[in-house]
């Protein structure tokens, strides 16, 4: 049975009441379904959205000579939000463990990438390892949090999902290449091809409100990566971190970074599947978006 948080139940109840006053089919029914989709997506982005809001707010409101550095505030705030989400049971302990692993994986990559000059954190802070403020790991954890929460909230099921061992090998290869391409050839195009081969036939089936919809999983990966790329543009505009070409003034993050986020997001997705094992459809008739309401 699908598990709801209280807010999800409130959203569904309100949508049912709205449909009681409107035709359940046609344009009005589709509009309500889309509205519920947007609200639940926002709910799934709770941690990442809160972090992005704090990054923007501190750009404009943080006092220049405050006793607590901006980065340190972001770290303490992120830690508090994560503890609150666990305490309020918005995330399970198993999900938190996977998110912690991704936090560590992300921080390790940050240490290497900043030492290689790929990007920098221009402000001082107390809570840091080398040139990396500790809040940065939570930005990676936010991706894991979103993927874990969206899997539950939309009761995601899969058809033609590849073997877990194959996805794990792909995950390891992607992570190694993030380091190795500084010393040897960059095999990211080969990794893109491997991703396509593994997931080409895979479809994700998700229930928004009344109906179960479907989408090619590769398209879902691309949409999530695109969203992260937009968020990174906001982050660099606020100078939470910057690339070398942004040191003299902000410019949009290169579209080439979309490919990097695409691969990094797959690492996060595979880690989340360790907790939320990909489940098949219970019955074939659940695949149709226009089927009878459940």
DSSP 135-159: THHHHHHHHHHHHHHHHHHTT-EEE
156: phi > 0 → left, psi -120 to 50 → alpha, else beta; which?
beta
89: phi > 0 → left, psi -120 to 50 → alpha, else beta; which?
left
CB atoms within 10 A of CB 132: 24
Identify the pLDDT of residue 24: 58
Q: Which domain covers residue 228, as residue numbers?
A: 45-287
Residue 104: strand, helix, or coil: helix
108 falls within a domain: yes
Residue 262: strand, helix, or coil: helix
Over the chain, what is the mean pLDDT? 88
281 falls within a domain: yes
Identify the pLDDT of residue 286: 46
12 falls within a domain: no
Sheet of 212-216, strands arranged across: 157-159, 203-207, 212-216
Identify the pLDDT of residue 287: 45
Identify the pLDDT of residue 293: 41
Identify the pLDDT of residue 283: 53
- Count of domains for the chain: 1
Mean pLDDT by 10 residues, the chain (294 residues): 63 81 72 89 92 94 91 96 88 81 89 93 94 92 89 92 95 94 94 96 91 92 94 94 91 92 92 86 53 40
Q: What is the pTM of this model?
A: 0.86
28 falls within a domain: no
223 falls within a domain: yes
Task: Please name which of 7, 3, 92 lies closest in space to residue 274, comparing C-alpha atoms.
Answer: 92
To 5 degrees, how large is the angle CA 201–CA 191–CA 175?
A: 120
72 falls within a domain: yes
15 falls within a domain: no
18 falls within a domain: no
């Amino acid at each position: 049975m699908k598990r709801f948080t209280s807010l999800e139940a409130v959203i569904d109840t309100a949508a049912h009441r709205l449909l009681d006053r409107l035709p359940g089919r046609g344009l009005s029914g589709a509009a309500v379904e889309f509205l519920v989709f947007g609200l639940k997506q926002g709910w799934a982005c709770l941690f990442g959205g809160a972090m992005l809001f704090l990054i923007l707010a501190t750009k404009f409101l943080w006092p220049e000579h405050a006793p607590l550095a901006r980065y340190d505030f972001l770290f303490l705030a992120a830690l508090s939000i994560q503890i609150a989400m666990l305490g309020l049971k918005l995330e399970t302990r198993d999900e938190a463990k996977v998110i912690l692993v991704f936090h560590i994986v992300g921080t390790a990559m940050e240490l290497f990438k900043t030492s290689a000059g790929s990007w920098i954190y221009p402000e001082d802070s107390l809570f840091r390892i080398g040139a990396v403020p500790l809040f940065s790991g939570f930005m990676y954890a936010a991706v894991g949090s979103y993927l874990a929460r969206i899997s539950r909230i939309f009761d995601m099921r899969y058809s033609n999902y590849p073997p877990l061992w194959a996805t794990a090998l792909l995950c390891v290869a992607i992570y190694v290449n993030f380091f190795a391409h500084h010393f040897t050839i960059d095999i990211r195009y080969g990794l893109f091809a491997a991703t396509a081969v593994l997931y080409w036939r895979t479809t994700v089936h998700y229930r928004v409100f009344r109906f179960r919809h479907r989408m090619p999983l590769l398209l879902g990966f691309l949409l999530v990566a695109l969203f992260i790329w937009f968020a990174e543009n906001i982050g660099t505009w606020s100078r939470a971190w910057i690339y070398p070409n942004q040191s003299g003034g902000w410019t949009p993050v290169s579209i080439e970074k979309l490919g990097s986020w695409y691969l990094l997001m797959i690492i996060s997705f595979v880690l989340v599947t360790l907790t939320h094992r990909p489940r098949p459809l219970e019955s074939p008739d659940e695949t149709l978006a226009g089927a009878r309401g459940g």
